[in-house]
Amino acid sequence: MYHVAVIGATGAVGQKMLQVLAEHDFPVRQISAYASARSAGKIVQFKGQDVTIQALSENITKDGIGVALFAAGGTISEQYAPLLAAAGTLVVDNSSAFRMQADIPLVVPEVNSQAIGPNDRLIANPNCSTIQSVVALAPLQPFGLKRVNYTTYQAVSGSGQKGIEDLARGSRGEEPVNYPHPIHDNILPHIDVFLPDGYTKEEQKMIDETRKIFRLPELPVSATCVRVPVTNSHSVAINVTFEQETSVEAIRAALAEAPGVVLVDDVSHNQYPMPLDASGTDDVYVGRIRQDQSLANTFHIWCVADNIRKGAASNAVQVARQALESSIHS
């Protein structure tokens, strides 16, 4: 049993981490919740019990924390995650701060749990859209990944509460506060900041993280990330080219047996993955599998997942459990 801390416990992901820790029956002996000084004293819930938010400070290294889940943004992670890891705490960080550091594992348990070493104390959680996409692609690795192109349809909850509030504002005819344009009754081909080459930082994250997770640094990957007026659960259209010849039937068979995947692909009965299906679950729903008529040995795959759960909180909890097991069995 462990003393477990959630850093950023007042945010959407932090609160979901507390919920998932309870639902997954994580071996919690003591739970602590941290946030900024302005949130200190607020109450969050864990297994029906009140937990008082503590102000985050460097004294956290003296609190005897065994496992720390970070959901407070990159700046906070950069300051505190290495301190806790150096003190012996197992840290799983949900920000982008450490994802592309060569010596820090970037992990989705269904895909590359072997990347966790027994002595790793700091592990990075990938981007939400990357997580669900690689879960869908991992069972297809035997066919040989040759090229991947993503188009995402990302819910406003990916921006946290402020994104949800902008969607509500728009429904009332009010101007947005978080987004540069209204999101209600609209879509924005713009997530995170634009880079000099015209891609956004979110798109570059998906490109870089996919290559790192699959250990294919030269894999051709591209992405277009779009914000849509959906409250929760991201959708990703994946266009993938394989090295080996395969078929829709073989792809379906591989996905039907894959851990963490729910195959929903019966268009004759209008059955395909939708955000309403995925919300509140930890699975990645996959369907609309079909051959691309314009490129050889290329296929379309549609996947949907709860971006706050599997795309963040649940994956972090799964990573923590995997890391603890790796340490125990080393």
pLDDT digits (tens, 9 = 90+) for 219-230: 999 999 999 999
Residue 88 known to bind ligand: no
For the segment 145-202, what is each residue's pLDDT rounded down to a tens digit? Answer: 999 999 999 999 999 999 999 999 999 999 999 999 999 999 999 999 999 999 999 9
pTM over 0.85: yes
Per-residue pLDDT, 330 = 46
Output the six-digit token pair for 128: 């939400």
Helices marked H in the chain — which ranges? 12-23, 74-86, 109-112, 128-137, 161-171, 201-214, 248-256, 275-278, 314-328
Exposure string (b/e) for 118-156, b if CB count within 10 Å is 16 or more? eebbbbbbbbbbbbbbbbbbbbbeebebebbbbebbbbb
Per-residue pLDDT, 326 = 77
Instruction: List, in order, residues 6 or more apart from 77 with CB less than 8 Å away.
Output: 70, 93, 94, 95, 97, 98
* In contact, 133 and 303? CB cutoff 8 Å: yes
Output the six-digit token pair for 183: 């999101």
Helix axes 12-23, 314-328, angle to 10 degrees: 50
Per-residue pLDDT, 329 = 44
CATH of domain 2-125+311-328: 3.40.50.720
Q: Which of 128, 181, 184, 190 is catalytic?
A: 128
Residues of the chain with pLDDT > 70, as a percent, come to: 99
Beta-bridged to residue 4, according to DSSP, are: 31, 67
**Catalytic site includes residue 234:** yes
User: Binning pLDDT at 50, 70 and 90, where does residue 118 land?
Assistant: confident
- The arrangement of strands across the sheet holding 2-7 comes to 43-46, 49-55, 28-35, 2-7, 67-70, 90-93, 122-124
Per-residue pLDDT, 325 = 86
Residue 64 known to bind ligand: no
Q: Quick check: 31 pLDDT over 60? A: yes
Per-residue pLDDT, 327 = 66
Q: What is the DSSP letter of 270?
A: T
Residue 252 known to bind ligand: no
Domain covering 130-307 assigned CATH 3.30.360.10 in the classification: yes
* In contact, 4 and 70? CB cutoff 8 Å: no
Per-residue pLDDT, 328 = 55
Per-residue pLDDT, 36 = 87
Q: What is the Cα–Cα distance from 67 to 71, expressed in whole angstroms?
A: 13
Nearest to 160 by CA among 269, 60, 293, 16: 16
User: Binning pLDDT at 50, 70 and 90, where does residue 39 land?
Assistant: confident
3-class secondary structure, 226: strand
What is the pLDDT averaged over residues 111-129? 95
* In contact, 84 and 19? CB cutoff 8 Å: no
Mean per-residue pLDDT of the chain: 95
Q: Which of 3, 24, 234, 303 is catalytic?
A: 234
For the segment 263-316, what is each residue's pLDDT rounded down to a tens digit? Answer: 999 999 999 999 999 999 999 999 999 999 999 999 999 999 999 999 999 999
What is the pLDDT averaged over residues 213-218? 98
Residue 10 known to bind ligand: yes
**Catalytic site includes residue 128:** yes
Residue 211 known to bind ligand: no
What is the pLDDT averaged over residues 112-120? 93
Per-residue pLDDT, 185 = 97
Residue 231 known to bind ligand: no
Show me where the domains of the chain are located: 2-125+311-328, 130-307
